[in-house]
Amino acid sequence: MLYNKYDKETLRNKLMAEDFPRTTLSFYRYVILENVNEMRDMLYKEFEEFQVFGRIYVAREGINAQISVPTHNFEKFISQLYSHPEFANVDLKIAVEDDGKSFYKLIVRVRSKIVADGLADDTFDVTNVGNHLNAKEFNEAMQQPETIVVDLRNHYESEVGHFKGAILPDADTFRDELPMVVNLLKDQKDKKILLYCTGGIRCEKASAYLKHEGFEDVNQLNGGIIHYARQVKAEGLESKFIGKNFVFDDRMGERITEEIISTCHQCGEPCDTHVNCANDDCHLLFIQCDKCAAKMNGCCTPTCKDISLMPVEEQRELRKGRIKENAHSVYKSRLRPNLREYLDQNKIHI
């Protein structure tokens, strides 16, 4: 019973039929877990008891969780979570925008790391992290001369929202981004560095790594964009973050400010709505406006649209063959350039 046994459609239908609200939150903690598999099974049982949905990774170095909890179970769930010494008083990041439909099933997995950072942790002091700044302190630090603000998220996250004036590395993964940032700032190790990410977990390891690499004044946004947005609202501060905060669940994003800073990848109109290609053999993440979604049947290219319109059985047969040279596979192999450029280069007109 320590795993899900239902198909996706059944689980989504059960979620939509719920007549109670859910609270979406995330948390992480770097802490040594002596018996990871035992912890995984215990957490699955406890989370399932409280009807928790979401994605939880546990590793010897700690835990990383993005979940939704029935609101009526929230206090009891948190009490149970805090009862474990390893997770006592762990900092919770409550979602900024929440329709209660962020997750539809429970996944608890054992990983080698709670974030794939590509670092050899035994080569530097992972506890020697940067200074933690709240929203007001982060805003003030941004105003200081020669301060450098670095977005530690992937390019598709920063594309729809970021801090004004931040460096936005064109990286597909956090693993790729760290050496990119170190190289980019190699001649500015004496400057004040401000790091930020979604909830703080990537900054926690990255700040220690940058200090190991010789950066002298490393700072990180405590609790990430999620905490920042709540503090800005509660304290009446100016939000220096503009646009949406990308999140890794079915919501795809939380609106922080009203500015739309990105465009539809198919027509170029202002849009910051991320979708996954409706072709089940693709599921490419891209930005698509409502008009293009209707025109393209929720797909990224004409090839994917044609496949999505096939009878389900034909789609399954096609997937068995895994045709490699169709539009979306070429698109993926080029590390996701702007879709408009791809369509122009291939003389595809939508």
Q: What is the DSSP letter of 25?
A: E
> Of residues 197, 264, 282, 289, which has the active-site annotation?
197
Distance, in Å, from the CA atom of 17 to the CA atom of 78, rounded to the nearest integer, reads 25
Q: How many CB atoms lie within 10 A of CB 296?
A: 20
Token duo for residue 21: 């609200």
Query: Active-site residue 197, yes or no?
Result: yes
Q: What is the DSSP letter of 91?
A: P
Distance, in Å, from the CA atom of 315 to the CA atom of 318, rounded to the nearest integer, reads 5
Q: Give Dmax (Cα) for the chain.
A: 61
- Give Cα 263 to chain centroid, integer Å: 20
Question: 235: part of which helix (H) or strand (E)?
Answer: helix 224-235
Distance, in Å, from the CA atom of 12 to the CA atom of 27, rounded to the nearest integer, reads 24
Residues 254 and 97: beta-carbon distance below 8 Å: yes
* Residue type at 290 in one-letter notation: D
Residue partners of 107: CB distance under 8 A and separation at least 6: 4, 54, 55, 56
Residue partners of 317: CB distance under 8 A and separation at least 6: none
SS3 224: helix
- What's the CA dihedral at 207, 211, 216, 220 to 10 degrees? 10
User: Active-site positions?
Assistant: 197
